[in-house]
Amino acid sequence: MTVRDVTDLYQEFGRDRLPPGQRRTSEFPVFTKGEVPATNQETWTLSVTGAVSTPRTFDWEKVQALPTETQRQDVHCVTGWSSFDHEFTGVPVPELAEMLDIDPDAAHVLFHAADGYTTDLPLSDCLRDEVLLTFEHDGEPLDREHGGPLRLITPHKYAYKGAKWVTEIEFRTEPVRGYWEKRGYSVTANPWAEERYS
């Protein structure tokens, strides 16, 4: 299996792999806004809505048929921990975007989760090669506690931008604040600039 190592992306944002104010852990802690939703591959679907010519729905089989990649990435949590060298397998968001007829005026993407969570990212951030809709972690199906069956991974942002249990991708012409952003968290969430709170 080929693994693409993107752990050097920090060089675009700062001098050190460990962002300022972070402590390194060998664990992969679980943080959620509440209870872990009851999700399963048999009933789960992913909807693409908003500023696209044709809304689409993918079941688990259709997602598995999309182009996939395994990447080695780091995870940075806004609460202060960073965990290195995770191998995530999933669909690169740019690969999915190429299959969609996205409105030229679309500039943001709102990710919706099975537990009601939302987070917004500029479309340009979503189209980075290392942004994945992941379903495997370190060669195993992604644990439900970590966002399985499908989670967004955004290694250039604090992890609250990586929505767990993704069920809808909504393309938008204007930004909207997601769950944590409405509660004072940073809209931009750059770990190397310590953009934790607005």
Q: Is residue 181 a contact partner of residue 196, using CB atoms and an 8 Å limit? A: no
Residue 116: the pLDDT is 94
Q: Is residue 87 a contact partner of residue 153, using CB atoms and an 8 Å limit? A: no
Kindly provide the b/e burial profile for residues 144-164, where b requires at least 16 CB atoms within 10 angstroms of the residue's own CB: eebbbbbbbbbbbbbbbbbbb
| Residue 101 confidence (pLDDT) above 80 | yes
Residue 124: the pLDDT is 98
Residue 32 CA to its chain's centroid (Å):
14
Question: Which residues, in sequence order, are bridge partners of residue 142?
Answer: none
Task: Say what percent of the chain tops pLDDT 90.
Answer: 92
Q: How confident is the model at residue 40 (pLDDT cuts 50, 70, 90)?
A: confident
Q: How confident is the model at residue 33 (pLDDT cuts 50, 70, 90)?
A: confident
What are the pLDDT digits (tens) for 105-126? 999 999 999 999 999 999 999 9
Sorted by where each begins, the domain ranges of the chain are 3-26+43-193
Q: Looking at residues 64-84, what average pLDDT do you find?
A: 97
Q: How confident is the model at residue 32 (pLDDT cuts 50, 70, 90)?
A: confident
What are the pLDDT digits (tens) for 139-186? 999 999 999 999 999 999 999 999 999 999 999 999 999 999 999 999
CATH tag for 3-26+43-193 (out of 1.10.3480.10, 3.90.420.10, 3.30.465.10, 3.90.76.10): 3.90.420.10
